[in-house]
Amino acid sequence: MGFRYRDELELAEATRISEVVIARGEHAFEVDPALMVEHVTQQPMPRWDTQRIARARSDYLAWMHRHFARRVVAGSTLIDHNGEQRSITIEHHTDTGVEGV
């Protein structure tokens, strides 16, 4: 492990997100520790390790994309300049009944 600043070693502040999830820092979620006391227990994780795992996950997903295509088109770039897609009439047959002969 290389040099770490003090705040990287501290456990990040917990914020409750839902009845079963807390967050420690931006977009770093954890199962509510109260639900992990008997069969599976949690261990304190320093901020730098959480960040390392998040970055590694991001790198992994980008690496996976590269196996399937040369580039990824972001969906947001399909949105028209006014921020919305034009609606079209759905042309396909939506009746799920099957006619007999």
Sign of the CA dihedral with 52 first, then 56, 62, and 66 last? positive
Q: Does 70 bind another protein (CB under 8 A)?
A: yes
Q: Does 56 bind another protein (CB under 8 A)?
A: no
Q: In angstroms, what is the minimal distance from the CB of 91 to another protein?
A: 8
Among 6, 86, 99, 100, binds another protein (CB under 8 A): 86
**CA torsion angle for 26, 47, 52, 59 (degrees, to 10)?**
0
Among 2, 6, 40, 99, binds another protein (CB under 8 A): 40
Q: Does 78 bind another protein (CB under 8 A)?
A: yes
CA distance 63 to 56: 10
